[in-house]
Amino acid sequence: MSNDDQLVLVTGANGFVATHCIVELLRSGYRVRGTLRSSAQAAKVRNAVGTEANATRLSFAEADLNLDDGWTRATEGCTYVLHVASPVPRQVPKNADDVILPARDGTLRVLKAATSSGVKRVVLTSSTAAVFYGRKRDGSEVYSEKDWSILSEEVSAYDRSKTLAERAAWDYVRSLGPSQRLELAVLNPGLVLGPLLMDNASISGEVVGKLLKRELPGCPDLGFAPVDVRDLAAMEVKAMTHPAAAGERFILALEHASMLEIAQILARHFGPQGINVPTRRVPSWLLKCVALFDKTVAVAVPELGKRQDVSCARAREVLDFTPRSLERTVIDMGESMLKLGLVPTPKRKGRAPASATESA
């Protein structure tokens, strides 16, 4: 079958990662169906995707991770599924199950529907959160796909949700009989950065957004294993068809990068445009104080002083993962935020009056 004869389902079509996956699929010639909790979002997604690819082969289906209804219709006729949708809280939830249950049970709903519809392969977007939590994170260890997070109440609800959802997916696929064969490939990206196509910035964009808007007094001891959303989308499509990807996990991330490194990149690029990015180091207690008033910041407090050291060697070897630089990724995200109005455009200083000599 040629690509234009194959239909691919992308869950959570209005999400940051999903919009880029749709663009990558359309550019590769596939027909795409995206799921939305409400069809009212369809026009906005189509317009955003249409700025990067021909959206005439894009359609939509209503489906909610919390509900059984809609998933069989969504997967009907699909050759592949990219399961990208997952709840990402913008603040610490009062009840962890509000995040964990939709992620785990929603993943199982997608897989069961894919099985009943005869889908060939599902690519699940998991996270490095399913790899290194509950482990030493002082720089002495580098984690790979063989590692799994060790869960406890100290691990955040989101990080637990990604681990439990991925484990549930692997258990489900292993339980299938010969007549219910379904291939599964899993991607474990780090912090996803890069250009936004829509103005609904994901929680991952808060790092860049808060620095550009000076909503933090400086850079606390935080660090990430970042990946460009465009590189992640390319690997989603690669993992969808690569023969060696079935039954495998793939970490997708650059080396650990501190918040200070990200701020310095932004300052070099956007400083001349009039955006004063905070680049001084600040103590951890100051972030904890800010977190009392900013619930989004509170999500990051447990990460203070911890590293995210992972290896993407398997992805490089099997999927030819060749990531963009951190600088390109961070700058492009900042530029997109300015373009979409998520960050105030700096006021240009007027030209100084001409001197007497110049007037003459």
Supply 218's token pair. 């400086």
Q: Is 186 left (phi over 0), alpha (psi -120 to 50) or beta?
A: beta
> Phi first, then psi: what are they for 326, rounded to 5°?
-60, -40
Instruction: Please tell me the distance from the alpha carbon of residue 19 to that of residue 10, in angstroms, as a whole number.
Output: 9
Give the burial class of 183: count Cβ atoms within 10 A of its Cβ; 0-12 exposed, 13-18 middle, 19 or more buried. Answer: middle
- CA-to-CA dists, residue 298 to 70, 308, 337, angstroms: 35, 19, 22
Catalytic-residue membership of 210: no
- CA-to-CA dists, residue 336 to 41, 190, 331, 341, angstroms: 20, 20, 9, 8
> Phi first, then psi: what are they for 36, rounded to 5°?
-135, 145
Give the burial class of 341: count Cβ atoms within 10 A of its Cβ; 0-12 exposed, 13-18 middle, 19 or more buried. Answer: exposed
Instruction: Please tell me the distance from the alpha carbon of residue 21 to that of residue 121, in angstroms, as a whole number.
Output: 16
Question: Are the C-beta atoms of residues 36 and 13 closer than 8 Å to each other?
Answer: yes
Q: How does DSSP assign 49-84, residue by residue? A: HHTTS-GGGEEEEE--TT-STTHHHHHTT-SEEEE-
Which candidate in 44, 112, 136, 162 is catalytic? Answer: 162
Supply 183's token pair. 């291939």
Catalytic residue numbers?
Answer: 162
